[in-house]
């Protein structure tokens, strides 16, 4: 059984990969990807069930914060059935999006202004090495280059900011992204050859 499951992963992966680069198999790849899309959609419902089971257990065992879990379950099920019945474009869903989801996410993002500043201030207390120093200096230069004075841009920093963003940072970004691709390549190949089996199996 384990080999059968691994064979499915290997076969599906190889087919998609070949179709990715061979136009002749592009249609096959599209079909396989559509299936994957549907399975991902089905997995979404299982994810909902996972959320429900985790928090319902908290309620059942009266763990810390079980009342919050109850609130989460009510909001989850209420929103889902509302959207399931009325559709995602219903006015009620818009209210939920603009009244809860959006302000919550936006404010959480806004909180990062404090947490990131806090982290930057304490960075050199965590690690004192050349990369951390360069990190802070470049961040400061970008911030300074972004700021304007009442009378106009900061004289030199504006141009420096543009050059750092378009040239200096690009070199490092490309190097990092290329390295990430190399890691992705080997990781993906391990899965394709069944060396890694995130779907289970020894």
Partner 1 sequence: MVISPDLITGVLSFIITIMILSYLIGDNPIFRIAIYLFIGVSAGYIAAVAWWQVLWPKLVIPLRSGNTVDRSLAIIPLLGAILILMKVLPRLSKIGSPAMAYLAGVGAAVAIGGGLTGTLYPQMAATINAFDLNRVSTGNVLGFMGLIRDGGVILVGVISSLAYFHFGARTRPDGSVRRFGFIEILAWIGQIFIGITLGVIFAGVYSAALTMFIERISSLLRFIGLS
Partner 2 sequence: MTELVIIGLVAILLLVLTLWKRRSPQQFRSIPALASLIRAIGLSVEDGSRLHISVGHGSLITPRSGSGLAGLAMLRHLAERTSSSDRPPVATTGDPALSLLAQDTLQAGYSAAGAEELFVPTTGRLTGMSPFGFAAGAMPVIRDERVSANVLMGYFGPESALLTDAAEQENVITIGASDNLVAQSILFAGSQDALIGEELYASSAYLGAGAAHTASLTVQDILRWLIMVTLLLSAVAKFMGLI
Partner 3 sequence: MADITCPVCGEINSADQEFCQYCQSRLQPLTGPLKGADAPITPGQFPTKKVTADLEPILPQWLRDARDKARKNAEEQAEQESKPEPETGASAPDLLAGLQSQKAEDEEETPDWLANITGSKSKSKKTETGSTEVHWVELGKPNEFMQEGEEPSISATQEPTESAGEESLPPWLAGTEPAEGGADELTAWLREAESPRAEPPAQEPSPRTESDSGSSDAFPRSSEELPDWLKNLQEEKPVSSEVPQMESPLPEEKSDSDWLKEIQNQQAESGLESAEKEEPFSTELPAWLKDQAAPSDSSLGGVPDWLQAPSSPAFISEEPEQKAEQENIPDWLKAAAPESSVFSEEPAAPIPSETPDWLASLQKDAEAQAFEPEKPEEGEPPPAFVEDALSDLNAEALFTEMPDWLSNAGTAEPPSTPSGVPSSPPAPSSEALTPGELPSWVQAMRPIETSQAEAPLSTSGDQTLETRGPLAGLQGVLPAIPGIGPSSKPKAYSIKLQATEEQQAHSALLEQVLAAETAPEPITSFSPLATQRGLRWLLAFLLLVIVSGVLFLRTHVFSLPVGETDEIRNARLITENIPQNTPVLVVVDYEPALTGEMEAIAAPLLDHLIILRHPVLVFISTSPTGGLLAERLLSGPLQDRGYQRGTQYLNLGFLPGGLTGVRSFAQDPVAAAPLNIDRAPAWIGTPLESLTSFSQFSAMIMITDNAESARTWIEQTNSSRGAMPVLVASSAQAAPMIEPYYNSGQVSGVVSGLYGGAIFEQNNSGRPGFARTYWDTFSLGMILAIVLIIAG
109 binds partner 3 (CB under 8 A): yes
1 binds partner 2 (CB under 8 A): no
Shortest reach from residue 45's CB to partner 3, in Å? 14
Q: Which of 26, 112, 121, 124 binds partner 1 (CB under 8 A)?
A: 112
- As a whole number of angstroms, the distance between CA 99 and CA 105 comes to 11
Rank residues 135 and 192 by Cβ distance to partner 3 and give the closer one: 135
Rank residues 63 and 148 by Cβ distance to partner 2 and give the closer one: 63
- As a whole number of angstroms, the distance between CA 10 and CA 189 comes to 9
149 binds partner 3 (CB under 8 A): yes
Shortest reach from residue 145's CB to partner 3, in Å? 9
Long-range contacts of 164-171 (CB under 8 A, 24+ apart): 164/138, 168/138, 169/138
Give the pair of three-digit tokens for residue 162.
């543009």
- As a whole number of angstroms, the distance between CA 75 and CA 16 comes to 38
Q: Which of 23, 62, 114, 125 binds partner 1 (CB under 8 A)?
A: 114
Residues 6+ apart with CB under 8 A from 19: 25, 26, 27, 28, 29, 30, 32
List the alpha helices (DSSP H) in the chain: 2-21, 26-60, 66-86, 91-96, 102-126, 130-146, 157-163, 169-192
For partner 3, the binding residues in 20-39 under the rule CB under 8 A are 30, 33-34, 36-37
Q: Which does 152 bind (CB under 5 to 8 A by kind): partner 3, partner 2, partner 1, none?
A: partner 3
Per DSSP, 19 falls in state H
Shortest reach from residue 34's CB to partner 3, in Å? 7
Q: 13 φ, ψ to 5°?
A: -65, -45
User: Which positions touch partner 2 (CB under 8 A)?
Assistant: 17-18, 20-22, 33, 36-37, 39-40, 43-48, 50-51, 53-54, 57, 64-65, 68, 101, 104-105, 108-109, 111-112, 115-116, 118-120, 123, 126, 131-132, 135, 173, 175-180, 182-193, 195-202
């Amino acid at each position: 059984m384990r080999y059968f499951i691994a064979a499915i992963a290997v076969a599906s992966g190889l087919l998609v990969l070949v179709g990715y680069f061979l136009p002749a198999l592009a249609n096959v790849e599209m079909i396989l990807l559509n299936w994957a899309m549907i399975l991902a959609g089905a997995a979404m419902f299982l994810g909902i069930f996972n959320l429900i089971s985790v928090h319902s257990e908290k309620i059942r065992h009266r763990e810390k914060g079980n009342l919050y879990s109850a609130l989460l379950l009510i909001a989850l099920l209420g929103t889902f059935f509302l959207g399931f019945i009325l559709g995602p474009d219903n006015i009620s869903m818009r209210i939920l999006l603009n009244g809860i989801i959006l302000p919550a996410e936006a404010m959480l993002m806004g909180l990062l202004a404090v947490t990131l500043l806090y982290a930057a201030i304490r960075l050199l207390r965590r690690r004192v090495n050349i990369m951390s120093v360069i990190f802070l200096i470049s961040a400061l230069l970008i911030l300074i280059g972004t700021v304007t004075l009442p009378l106009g841009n900061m004289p030199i920093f504006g141009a420096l900011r543009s050059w750092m963003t378009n040239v200096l940072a690009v070199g490092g970004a490309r190097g990092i992204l290329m390295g990430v691709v190399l890691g992705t390549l080997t990781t993906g190949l391990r899965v394709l050859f069944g060396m890694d089996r995130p779907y289970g199996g020894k």
